[in-house]
Amino acid sequence: MSYEAVIGLEVHSQLLTNSKVFCGCSTKFGAEANTQVCPVCLGMPGTLPVLNKTAVEYAVKMALATHCKVNDKSIFARKNYFYPDLPKGYQISQYNEPLTQKGYIDIQVNGAEKRIGITRIHMEEDAGKLLHGESYEDADSSFVDLNRAGVPLIEIVSEPDIRTSDEAVEYLKALRDILVYLEICDGNMEEGSFRCDANVSVRPVGQKEFGTKAELKNMNSFRFIQKAIEYEINRQIEVIEDGGKVIQETRLFDSDKGITVSMRSKEEAHDYRYFPEPDLLPLQIDETWIEEIKRTLPELPAEKRERFVKEYDIPSYDAGVLTATKELANYYEDCVKKYEGQGPAPAGFKQGAKGKGQEILPPKVVSNWIMGELLRLLKEDGKDIAQPSAFSIQPSVFVKLLNMVDAGTINLKTAKEVFEEVYKTGKNPESIVKGKGLVQVSDEGALIKVIDDMLAASPKELADYKAGKEKLFSFFIGQTMKATKGQANPQMLNKLLQERLAK
Ligand code: ADP
Ligand code: ZN
Ligand code: MG
């Protein structure tokens, strides 16, 4: 029997407001423990919450970007439970009437597009953080840091539309890209500003009803989420194949062992006793404000990707890579604007078609360089182009290098080496080329001399070639390249060698 997984994800993302959602305390990450607290977020009796308008605006932005309906009225609710990181004994969240619901995003998985429904997006406050022993002098104690208590969150709940761990990861990446594009969340999984719980069940292929789900927690990277889901799918299939039943429970991912372990079953599940928050009025949002917010939305990743394909005639794959962050997309566009390459396409030109003289258009040349060289170097350094300090190659400098290739000053191989050096040292490509004597040998006379010397040194090969062993042509090319330390202009070398051998 073959099985299919059903997955629904619950994502918590921290909103990038300056102050907390119900008080004026700072939300800045990394401050000394318990220095960003006040009577409201410490849950002192007699204090009252005041809703942060910017937090609502950010939540509405996310709703609009994911095609959700923004409800004109929503209700805050108390979710009651006891835990040392929750000073009030309840979390202010939303329950029956969330801020927004019924949206979707489209994701790309292995070249195909798939739509994933979004059930709802609601607002809530974060809890504090517990620090357990180890890093402190007293290893037996736990400490409470309430700086995070009251920081605004949105919870984004997906429909159970996801079928594989790949889809789950693509969905999460797409959500995170949107949040970061909107500048409402920094998307940092390690610092916990983007967290995900995964609901996983399996069913025999063809069965309509869903199986019993387990909820997975404690995964703080895309790789762990993928691993945890895969492990869980296989575990559930095994349980069923062995004649057992999957039980509804919460399971924790153990990243050292790569497995999920039971944390609590449905019977032990919390009863949160939700009820409407009496200290906050129902939240009413008028249409004109939503329209105002809509006008501030930037071009989103999916729109940008489509535009790149249309405007620059690059493959959808390239467009996807280049629009992963706004910074990278802007960098690409800045380079394309400055780079003319070999000029406009000839009549009948088809991108990537061979044998028309010009095989790729300038925007694709730039894309190849960014994807192949720049992103490779950044990856080797563990850097992210979204960090402004990640690298310092100005678009004009980048384009200068490409122009040097087009002009025949350096060949492609040299250009890649120079690029790496520009990346590492921030030096000007022209001075690197001059300083190292890397200028391509495009001087016909000089090249003919190298070819003649090379042929004189290979009399046996030359004789074999003349006797019909034409494969030796590439041997001669290789030898000449070696003699010029890879700096011969390849087109010119090809032409001159042919002429010389035809004599
Ligand atoms: P709960 O009340 O247990 O929190 P919800 O109905 O609120 O469950 O759903 C929580 C998440 O679980 C949603 O993302 C939803 O899509 C997903 N989900 C619901 N049922 C299943 C199932 N049988 N298998 C996998 N995911 C599911
Ligand atoms: Zn406070
Ligand atoms: Mg739920």
Q: Are strands 249-254 and 214-217 parallel, antiparallel or unpaired?
A: parallel
| Cβ of 199 below 6 Å from ligand 1 | yes
pLDDT-derived band at 486, boundaries 50, 70, 90: confident
Rounded alpha-carbon distances, angstroms, from residue 124 to 219, 227, 389, 397? 21, 29, 34, 47
Q: Among 93, 157, 199, 270, say which to mutate for ligand 1: greatest number of ligand atoms within 8 Å of CB.
A: 199
| Cβ of 98 below 6 Å from ligand 1 | no
Q: Please tell me the predicted confidence (pLDDT) of residue 485.
A: 79
Q: Please tell me the predicted confidence (pLDDT) of residue 352.
A: 52
Using alpha carbons, select from 154, 166, 149 the residue that is nearest to residue 195: 154
Q: Please tell me the predicted confidence (pLDDT) of residue 137.
A: 66
Token couple for 221? 């990277």
Amino acid at 460: K
Q: Is the pLDDT of residue 217 over 50?
A: yes
Helix axes 459-466, 472-483, angle to 10 degrees: 150
Q: How far is the centre of ligand 2, averaged over its atoms, from the C-alpha of 39 (Å)?
A: 6
**In ligand 1, which atom is closest to the CA atom of 212?**
23
| Cβ of 157 below 6 Å from ligand 1 | yes
Q: How far is the centre of ligand 3, averaged over its atoms, from the C-alpha of 224 (Å)?
A: 22
| Cβ of 4 below 6 Å from ligand 1 | no
The domain locations on the chain are 3-125+151-295, 301-435, 444-501
Q: Is the pLDDT of residue 248 over 80?
A: yes
- Residue 151 CA to residue 55 CA, distance in Å, equals 10
Q: How far is the centre of ligand 3, averaged over its atoms, from the C-alpha of 221 (Å)?
A: 22
HSE (side-chain half, CA atoms, 13 Å) at 45: 0
**In ligand 1, which atom is closest to the CA atom of 201?**
24
CATH class assigned to 444-501: mainly alpha
| Cβ of 160 below 6 Å from ligand 1 | yes
Among protein residues, the one with the nearest Cα to ligand 1's atom 13 is 8
Q: Please tell me the predicted confidence (pLDDT) of residue 357.
A: 45
Q: Please tell me the predicted confidence (pLDDT) of residue 411.
A: 81
Note the pLDDT tens digit of each residue in 16-58: 999 999 999 999 999 999 999 999 999 999 999 999 999 999 9
Q: Please tell me the predicted confidence (pLDDT) of residue 134.
A: 59
Token couple for 155? 């919870």
| Cβ of 193 below 6 Å from ligand 1 | no
Q: Is the pLDDT of residue 246 over 70?
A: yes
Q: Please tell me the predicted confidence (pLDDT) of residue 136.
A: 58
Q: Please tell me the predicted confidence (pLDDT) of residue 355.
A: 42
Note the pLDDT tens digit of each residue in 89-129: 999 999 999 999 999 999 999 889 999 999 999 999 999 99
Q: Is the pLDDT of residue 358 over 60?
A: no
Note the pLDDT tens digit of each residue in 266-301: 887 789 999 999 999 999 999 999 999 999 999 999
Q: How far is the centre of ligand 3, averaged over its atoms, from the C-alpha of 199 (Å)?
A: 10
What is the pTM for the complete model shown?
Answer: 0.85
Q: Is the pLDDT of residue 353 over 60?
A: no
For the purposes of burial, counting CB atoms within 10 Å of the CB of 404, is it exposed (0-12), middle (13-18) or buried (19 or more)?
buried
Among the listed ranges 136-145, 162-171, 402-411, which one has the minimum average pLDDT value? 136-145
Q: Return the SS3 of 191.
A: coil
- Residue 69 CA to residue 103 CA, distance in Å, equals 7
Q: How far is the centre of ligand 3, averaged over its atoms, from the C-alpha of 95 (Å)?
A: 9
Average pLDDT in the chain:
91
Least distant ligand from the CA of 156: 1
| Cβ of 122 below 6 Å from ligand 1 | no
Q: Which helix (H) or strand (E) holds 416?
A: helix 412-425
**In ligand 1, which atom is closest to the CA atom of 215?**
12
